[in-house]
Structure 1
Amino acid sequence: MTLTLGNATISSTAAPAAFFARWADMATWPEWNADTEWVRLDGPFVPGATGVLKPKGGPKTKFVVQVLTDREFTDVSLLLGARLTFRHQVSVDAAGRTEVRVEVTLAGPAARLWNLILGKGIADSLQRDLEALRAVAEKEVLV
């Protein structure tokens, strides 16, 4: 069973590389992700990399960088009986603006249970966090 918890999309003047730079610098995620206390990556930001994140008010969670290309970054948090997937896709439109889309899904036998626990909070914060990430990425362009 797979459940979609939410989708968010933004358009930005920052280049795709600015978004990948923020995703790669996981120690700074709390600057734009209001629900994250801290994130640690065990080594370089590459496909298959692992780490641990601590959501505010929640337990530490292991994750893996499942996909990392010049157009997509997907990380999967390993929950008991489920996998929480954040798929980030980046493209450039005809006007040269960067489009960033994030989709969050839960899969596995305990997906419905985890949806009751996490679903509303993730759905409520997804667009806000993506807009905060855009602000950080665009600010870096100006510096």
Structure 2
Amino acid sequence: MMTLGNARITSAAAPAAFFARWADMATWPEWNADTEWVRLDGPFATGSTGVLKPKGAPRTKFVIAALSDSEFTDVSLLLGARLTFHHLVGAAPAGGSDVQVSVTLAGPLARVWNLILGKGIKETLQRDLESLRAVAEAASEARA
């Protein structure tokens, strides 16, 4: 398994605000600049599947591999590899949230996929997480 990137933020928004954004997959393009669209074929729950369309790339099937009150892991099923986005969310010491995202590739064609995707993911992961923070905080302020 190889790590493509890691990102971390703290936010004034509660952990639930991040899970609300992740669950509303149709809105992912609002904060994820590399995503054209996402469709979840069922509830936001462990084992649910869907399809996403990265910009400039073919549609990709994914599965929600883990979901709890502190974790959301989705796995894109690539030819000969699995691209895993592992999200951890916890309460920050001063209130709000601490959010971490790591992206890994595994499988016999992982090195090939790293050449195709690795640089782009590494370059945009932190930016996309910061955009997600802005959306989660704006939604939290609107409810307050």
Q: For residue 139 of structure 1, what is the amino acid of its counterpart?
A: A
Equivalent residue for 1:5? 4
Q: For residue 89 of structure 2, what is the amino acid of its counterpart?
A: V
Equivalent residue for 2:99? 100
Equivalent residue for 1:48? 47
Name the SS of the counterpart of 2:56 in structure 1.
coil
Equivalent residue for 2:78? 79
Equivalent residue for 1:21? 20
Equivalent residue for 2:138? 139
Q: How many residues align?
A: 142
Cα shift at 1:44? 0.6
Q: Trace 1:32-71 onto structure 2 (pairs within 5 A).
A: 32-71=31-70
| Separation of aligned partners in 1, 2:45 and 2:96 | 25
Cα shift at 1:12? 0.2
Name the SS of the counterpart of 2:123 in structure 1.
helix
Cα shift at 1:52? 0.1
Equivalent residue for 1:110? 109
Name the SS of the counterpart of 1:11 in structure 2.
strand
Name the SS of the counterpart of 2:131 in structure 1.
helix
Q: For residue 35 of structure 2, what is the amino acid of its counterpart?
A: T
Q: For residue 125 of structure 1, what is the amino acid of its counterpart?
A: T
Q: For residue 64 of structure 2, what is the amino acid of its counterpart?
A: V
Q: For residue 63 of structure 1, what is the amino acid of its counterpart?
A: F
| Separation of aligned partners in 1, 2:104 and 2:17 | 25
After superposition, the C-alpha distances for 1:19-62 in whole angstroms (9 at most, x for unaligned) are 00000000000000000000000011000000000000000000
Cα shift at 1:93? 2.4
**Normalization by structure 1: what TM-score?**
0.98
After superposition, the C-alpha distances for 1:107-127 in whole angstroms (9 at most, x for unaligned) are 000000000000000000000
Cα shift at 1:94? 2.0
Unaligned 5+ runs, structure 2:
none
**Normalization by structure 2: what TM-score?**
0.98
RMSD: 0.5
| Separation of aligned partners in 2, 1:71 and 1:117 | 30
